[in-house]
């Protein structure tokens, strides 16, 4: 059903009230006025009759001339005068010829006089053909009633007077009604516009706009209602801004967390998820909300953990392995959430990505295994030779040979330990190394000084292709270590009588040092792993050359510290070019 507007309702009610009150009072006024006029006229008629009676004597009743004059004195007046004889015969009348009139003895007013009282009677007159009010008094002498003096006034004349007043009352009522209508319209309009302004402002409040407030005007109750609504809006605004601030704080906290965080309801439907979790599970922003945990994570284990937490109402901590493009290990803290009434409402999952930690742990294990393995070879050999020396008689030649082998193995042990110490030293943060700008040729010269003898032993020519203007911004000791390792390798793996070229290239964004040899080269399938710790193409050959398998990994780490890189270009059997790139603008 269509509901009426407050204006229509109010205006209709006012209209009915105004209509009823003005109508009833107009009706009442008209009726009262009519009654009043009739009563006054009747009294007046009675009074007039009594006065006229004093002017008429019984003797006059037989004098038709006197009677004629008496009644004619009343003609032209609004009062009709009739003289009736004791026998009911009309002797004179101010309005009619008395001879044509019938006997009046049966007229109620005359009957009343005969019965000794007087009566005002209203009835239709056959004589004058209209409604009249009659009154009559008897003319007496000592003997009894000798005749009657009757007066009458026209009801129509009275009604005409009443009607003219009725018209005035109706006109006044209509004017009053129109005025009331205007007032009702204005009052209804005012009230409905006030209610509408409350409705409008409440609508703004509902939309979270609190700048529109009500004007505090009008009657006391309405202005105090406006004030209450305005202060309600202000407190609502404060509360909402507090809630929004809290929500934003909570949201920014959640969004800035590196740990993936997910909140699910008791049916394992995702209610909230932070960007880290979205990134981890590879879902678009906001795309996971409303979906099931299993759909998004694809992990049944995680589902079982959360279901277990919900069933037991206990928080838990587990490690779950996720298989996607790669294997990830997540530590999951699941905490039960409760609503304000203490009922379980969901579960909060905070995840800690342990993948890197697990990878480092595996690398550490692998490294320890590698180190142990590398150390075992020389220590086992040393142990074996010493046992032989202790348990057997050996001649001088054998003794010298054994001592030589022992010397080589202990040297090897030393080299491994030295390289490990260098590597450990390089694990510090890059910021703790101080770099200098110096000519790259200085670096090359120091390296050649160290390697020169070894190269000569293998008749290897060390060629330098560089300019004194080429500069490098580097850590002097670390960069020398890296270049030494490369040139040492070039000499180690370069053939007898070959040439090793040390070349420098100065570019816009940095300096590159290349070490080129034409030795055995490195097969393509080994090139990717060549910079890893203990990685060697040919273990036996490396060992023979006194290699540790750590040299290139030291080079790689040194270049990382410099923010640069170490690269390899090699072709099996033809030779290798190792390059060191030091970033920096030198122009």
**Which residues sit at the interface with ligand ADP, rule CB under 6 A?**
485, 489-490, 493, 517, 519-522, 530, 535-538, 542, 547-552, 576
Instruction: Give the residue with the Cβ less far from ligand ADP, 138 or 547.
Output: 547
Instruction: Give the residue with the Cβ less far from ligand ADP, 92 or 548.
Output: 548
The rounded distance, in Å, linking the Cα atoms of 7 and 186 is 10
Instruction: Give the residue with the Cβ less far from ligand ADP, 33 or 535.
Output: 535
8 A C-beta contact, residue 483 and residue 443: yes
- Shortest distance in whole angstroms from residue 565 CB to ligand ADP: 16
Torsion of CA 491, 493, 495, 499, to 10 degrees: -40
- Shortest distance in whole angstroms from residue 465 CB to ligand ADP: 17
Nearest to 270 by CA among 254, 258, 256, 287: 287
459-463: list long-range contacts, CB under 8 Å, 24+ apart: 459/496, 459/497, 460/491, 460/494, 460/496, 460/497, 460/498, 460/499, 460/500, 461/498, 461/499, 461/500, 462/487, 462/499, 462/500, 462/502, 463/499, 463/500, 463/501, 463/502
Instruction: Give the residue with the Cβ less far from ligand ADP, 225 or 537.
Output: 537
- Shortest distance in whole angstroms from residue 577 CB to ligand ADP: 9
The rounded distance, in Å, linking the Cα atoms of 561 and 475 is 9
Instruction: Give the residue with the Cβ less far from ligand ADP, 275 or 495.
Output: 495
Instruction: Give the residue with the Cβ less far from ligand ADP, 52 or 520.
Output: 520
Q: CA 67 from chain center: how many Å?
A: 107
Instruction: Give the residue with the Cβ less far from ligand ADP, 206 or 540.
Output: 540
8 A C-beta contact, residue 92 and residue 98: yes
8 A C-beta contact, residue 114 and residue 145: yes
Torsion of CA 288, 293, 295, 297, to 10 degrees: 90
Q: Which residues pair with 270 in a beta bridge?
A: 264
- Shortest distance in whole angstroms from residue 482 CB to ligand ADP: 11
- Shortest distance in whole angstroms from residue 526 CB to ligand ADP: 7
Both tokens of 52, joined, read: 């006229």
DSSP strands (E only) in 21-105 = 79-85, 90-93
The H-or-E segment that residue 261 falls in is strand 261-265
- Shortest distance in whole angstroms from residue 570 CB to ligand ADP: 7
- Shortest distance in whole angstroms from residue 453 CB to ligand ADP: 18
- Shortest distance in whole angstroms from residue 325 CB to ligand ADP: 30
Instruction: Give the residue with the Cβ less far from ligand ADP, 74 or 521.
Output: 521
């Amino acid at each position: 059903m269509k509901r009426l507007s407050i204006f229509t309702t109010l205006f209709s009610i006012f209209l009915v009230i105004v209509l009823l009150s003005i109508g009833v009072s107009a009706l009442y006024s008209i009726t009262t006025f009519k009654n009043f006029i009739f009563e006054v006229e009747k009294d007046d008629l009675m009074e007039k009759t009594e006065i006229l009676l004093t002017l008429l004597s019984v003797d006059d009743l037989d004098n038709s001339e006197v009677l004629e004059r008496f009644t004619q004195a009343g003609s032209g007046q609004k009062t009709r005068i009739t003289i009736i004889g004791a026998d009911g015969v009309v002797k004179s009348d101010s309005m009619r010829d008395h001879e044509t009139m019938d006997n009046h003895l049966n007229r109620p007013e005359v009957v009343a006089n005969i019965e000794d009282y007087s009566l005002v009677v209203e009835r239709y007159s056959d004589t004058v053909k209209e409604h009249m009010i009659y009154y009559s008094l008897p003319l007496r002498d000592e003997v009894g009633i000798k005749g009657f003096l009757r007066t009458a006034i026209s009801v129509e004349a009275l009604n005409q007077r009443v009607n003219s007043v009725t018209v005035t009352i109706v006109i006044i009522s209509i004017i009053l009604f129109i005025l009331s209508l205007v007032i009702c319209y204005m009052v209804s309009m005012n009230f409905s516009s006030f209610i509408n302004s409350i409705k409008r402002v409440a609508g703004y409040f509902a939309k979270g706009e609190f700048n529109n407030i009500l004007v505090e005007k009008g009657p006391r109750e309405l202005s105090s209602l406006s004030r209450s609504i305005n202060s309600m809006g202000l407190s609502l605004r404060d509360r909402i801004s507090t809630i929004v601030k809290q929500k934003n704080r909570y949201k920014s906290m959640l969004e800035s967390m590196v740990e993936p965080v997910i909140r699910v309801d008791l049916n394992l439907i995702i209610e909230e998820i932070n960007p880290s979790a979205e990134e981890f599970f590879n879902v678009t922003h906001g795309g996971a909300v409303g979906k099931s945990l299993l759909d998004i994570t694809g992990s049944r284990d995680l589902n079982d953990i959360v279901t277990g937490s919900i069933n037991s109402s206990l928080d838990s901590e587990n490690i779950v392995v996720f298989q996607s493009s790669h294997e990830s290990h997540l530590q999951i803290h699941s905490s039960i959430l409760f609503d304000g009434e203490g009922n379980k409402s969901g579960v909060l999952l905070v995840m800690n990505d342990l993948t890197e930690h697990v990878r480092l742990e595996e690398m550490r294990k692998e490294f320890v295994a590698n180190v142990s393995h590398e150390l075992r070879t020389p220590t086992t050999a040393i142990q074996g030779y010493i046992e032989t020396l202790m348990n057997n008689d050996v001649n001088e030649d054998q003794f010298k040979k054994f001592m030589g082998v022992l010397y080589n193995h202990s040297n090897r042990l030393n080299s491994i330990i030295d390289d490990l110490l260098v590597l450990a030293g390089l694990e510090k943060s890059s910021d703790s190394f101080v770099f200098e700008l110096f000519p790259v040729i200085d670096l090359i010269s120091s390296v050649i000084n160290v390697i020169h003898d070894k190269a000569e032993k293998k008749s290897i020519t060390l060629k330098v292709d560089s300019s004194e203007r080429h500069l490098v911004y580097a850590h002097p000791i670390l960069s020398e270590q890296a270049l030494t390792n490369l040139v040492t390798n070039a000499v180690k793996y370069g053939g007898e009588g070959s040439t090793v070229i040390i070349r420098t290239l100065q570019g816009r964004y940095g300096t590159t040092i290349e070490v080129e040899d034409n030795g055995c080269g490195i097969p393509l399938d080994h090139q990717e792993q060549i910079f890893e710790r203990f990685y060697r193409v040919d273990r036996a050959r490396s060992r023979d050359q006194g290699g540790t398998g750590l040299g290139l990994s030291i080079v790689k780490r040194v270049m990382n510290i410099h923010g640069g890189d170490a690269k390899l270009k090699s072709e099996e059997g033809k030779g290798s070019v190792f390059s060191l790139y030091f970033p920096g603008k030198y122009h």
